[in-house]
Amino acid sequence: MSALINSQDRLLQVILAPQITEKATHIADKYQQIAFKVRTDATKPEIKAAVELMFKVEVQGVTVANIKGKAKRAGRTMGRRKDWKKAYVSLKPGQEINFAAGE
């Protein structure tokens, strides 16, 4: 029982935010995929389970991209933004997630 509760807590922490950009909107219209910012240690099965749990939809597939942080400069000192992970989630036909409506 506690393993199920711990795994549900983990799944609720996997997805950090949806990526709502021009590119993500184009991909959503053309390929019926939704982009999410996810934890860097998240796996494809975890992402699939998290999307199905949070949005009550059926997921067809998950593609993951590791995004390298940009090198930034403030005066003389060089810095670097954190690396992060992006997941493209394909939904089964007839499924959709609407971020505009308050769920």
For residue 49, being part of any structural domain is answered with yes
Asked whether residue 70 is assigned to any structural domain, the reply reads yes
Domain count, the chain: 1
Q: Is residue 5 predicted with pLDDT exceeding 80?
A: no
pLDDT, tens only, 34-57: 999 999 999 999 999 999 999 999
Residue 102 counted as domain residue? no
Q: CATH code at 78?
A: 3.30.70.330
What is the rounded average pLDDT for all residues in the chain? 90
In a domain, 8, yes or no: no
Is 75 contained in some domain?
Answer: yes
Do residues 34 and 55 touch, judged by C-beta distance below 8 A? no
Q: Domain limits at 81?
A: 16-91
Residue 68 lies in a domain: yes
63 inside domain: yes
